[in-house]
Chain A
């Protein structure tokens, strides 16, 4: 997607997340944070010229759903645009320092995905705070990149 569309998605997900309790609703509270962070990462990758901005929606690494003029969606094989997660698909080239920090923050968030959402490990307030801090770091790094390299 385009950078503006990623920013709009981040706003929507953050609004949804604000309606949820980090403890009682951890699974979807967490999932919104993870998705918002992934949109931030994609916006930063596009901005750095490491992946393509286009109106194409990631299905699986290398395959994107592309809207057609007649209103349909068609899967197409395309070079890297939006990543599903860092490394899917792999991005060629050296990541700038701020993107490495964002990637590290996303790894922190994603480390809790399977244990706490799929495997029933209780999410403590400390885990929620760590995930929230990692997301805020991601969003802050994106804002700084967009303002300093406008």
Chain B
């Protein structure tokens, strides 16, 4: 997808997240992951690192070489998306205590990615 379309998708998901409360931590974490992936794809397309028909879905599905390459372009965003993804086993699929705090952390990580992506908008 084109960068602007990724941003439109991310904004829709972020609007929906505003309807959720702290006790909806599973969907807040999932929403952060989905919106963050759209924001990061927009950034990588704008930087010329990935083609518009080569979207990243999850960092852990990339080859190690590709993860390293994209991390050179924006390591902070790649690390932040990976950190959101790492919250899913325990707090989305699992019922480990601390889900509400994990969701707040996911929102902070999404804000980091969104902030960096918006600096690359033209």
Contacts and interface: CB of A to CB of B under 8 A. Distances in A.
A118 B57 contact: yes
Given A13-B26, A65-B89, A120-B9, A73 B57 contact: no
Interface stretch (B17-25, B42-50, B63-71, B111-119): B17-25
A31 B94 contact: no
B17 A28 contact: yes
B93 A13 contact: no
A1 interface: yes
A19 B26 CA distance: 14
A36 to B, nearest CB: 10
B69 to A, nearest CB: 21
Given A27-B12, A28-B17, A118-B55, A5 B95 contact: yes
A16 interface: yes
A127 to B, nearest CB: 15
Contact of B93 (A25, A28, A58): A58
A121 B104 CA distance: 29
Interface string B85-117: 000011011111000000000000000000000
A8 interface: yes
Interface of B: 1, 5, 8-9, 12-13, 15-17, 19-20, 24, 26-27, 30-31, 34, 37, 55, 57, 60, 89-90, 92-96
A9 B60 contact: no
Interface residues of A, number: 32
A150 interface: no
A19 B48 CA distance: 39
Given A12-B26, A28-B16, A31-B34, A119 B93 contact: no
A65 B102 CA distance: 16
A24 B17 CA distance: 12
A67 B96 contact: yes
A32 interface: yes
A117 interface: yes
A27 B12 CA distance: 8
A20 B31 CA distance: 13
A58 B60 CA distance: 14
Nearest to B38: A118
Contact of A59 (B8, B13, B57, B89): B89
Given A19-B19, A60-B60, A67-B96, A28 B30 contact: yes
Contacts of A60: 60
